Amino acid sequence: RKEVEQDPGPFNVPEGATVAFNCTYSNSASQSFFWYRQDCRKEPKLLMSVYSSGNEDGRFTAQLNRASQYISLLIRDSKLSDSATYLCVVRDSSYKLIFGSGTRLLVRP
C-alpha cells in the first residue's frame, strides 16, 4: 500500500465548479497533514494545513478523518488560476514530509 494515495485525476472542470480531492494515508502515527499546490515544473507550495476539526481558507476547505486515515480538499467556485497539481502531504513522526503523487486539476473557461 502506498504511504499516501490520492485520486488518480486529472480533473477537468469548468470555471465556477466545485471540485473535491481525496487522499488516504497508511501510517496511523502520522503527525500532521497538508495540501500543497505544484505548478508545472515548479516547487511545491503550501496551500493549507489540515486540522482534525476541519478548516477553511477562502474557497478552500480541508477535512481530516484520523480514524479512516482520510484527508480531503474541497475547492469552491474554481478559477482558471486554480489549475495545478494538488499534493496531499503527510508529516511522519520523524518530521519528514511524505508526498502523494498528486492530482492534476484543469479549470477551463
Partner 1 sequence: EPEVTQTPSHQVTQMGQEVILRCVPISNHLYFYWYRQILGQKVEFLVSFYNNEISEKSEIFDDQFSVERPDGSNFTLKIRSTKLEDSAMYFCASSGRGAEPGELFFGEGSRLTVL
**Residues found near partner 1 in the complex (CB under 8 A):** 38, 41-46, 87, 94-102
Q: From residue 1, how far is each of 24, 25, 29, 109 by CA, in Å?
A: 10, 9, 16, 37
Residue 36 C-beta: closest distance to partner 1, Å: 8
Residue 35 C-beta: closest distance to partner 1, Å: 13
Q: What are the two backbone dihedrals, phi and then psi, of residue 81, each rounded to the nearest 5 degrees?
A: -70, -5
- State the Cα–Cα distance between residues 38 and 105, nearest whole angstrom: 11
Q: Which is nearer to partner 1, 60 or 76 (CB)?
A: 60
Q: Which is nearer to partner 1, 40 or 67 (CB)?
A: 40
Q: Which is nearer to partner 1, 78 or 84 (CB)?
A: 84
H-helix or E-strand spanning residue 106 = strand 103-108
Residue 97 C-beta: closest distance to partner 1, Å: 6
Residue 15 C-beta: closest distance to partner 1, Å: 27
Length of the chain: 109
- Among candidates 82, 106, 107, 87, which has minimal Cα distance to 97? 87
Q: Which is nearer to partner 1, 76 or 101 (CB)?
A: 101
